[in-house]
Amino acid sequence: DSGVTQTPKHLITATGQRVTLRCSPRSGDLSVYWYQQSLDQGLQFLIQYYNGEERAKGNILERFSAQQFPDLHSELNLSSLELGDSALYFCASSVDRGVGGELFFGEGSRLTVL
């Protein structure tokens, strides 16, 4: 158990819909990262937050947004969903602000868009 909690574990929805994925980092960790894992694309970095502020941005689509709340939990919002958005979405946390510390991954949220 990494200490990172992600909900929901599975989500099935239709194209055009909007979903929210939630992540609670390990106790004491200030950084939260979101990654998308598709079959052939490996782990794609989406975005990182540190202590409530956006710290780094990767290949995150404009239809996607994220935020980190004062209690440090984070939400990833995916809108106008397309079939290609079906993937496993991982949240990870680390104690530092992104200087290369170990990432602790949650178990992921599997999104299926029909």
Residues near other proteins (CB under 8 A) are 2, 33, 35, 40-45, 48, 55-58, 90, 92, 97-108
Select 2 or 13, whichever has its Cβ closest to other proteins.
Answer: 2
Select 19 or 108, whichever has its Cβ closest to other proteins.
Answer: 108
Q: Are 73 and 87 in contact (CB under 8 A)?
A: no
The least distance separating other proteins from the CB of residue 44, rounded to whole angstroms, comes to 8
- DSSP letter string over 34-95? EEEEETTTEEEEEEEEETTEEEEE-S--TTEEEEE-TTS-EEEEE-S--GGG-EEEEEEEES
Select 42 or 70, whichever has its Cβ closest to other proteins.
Answer: 42
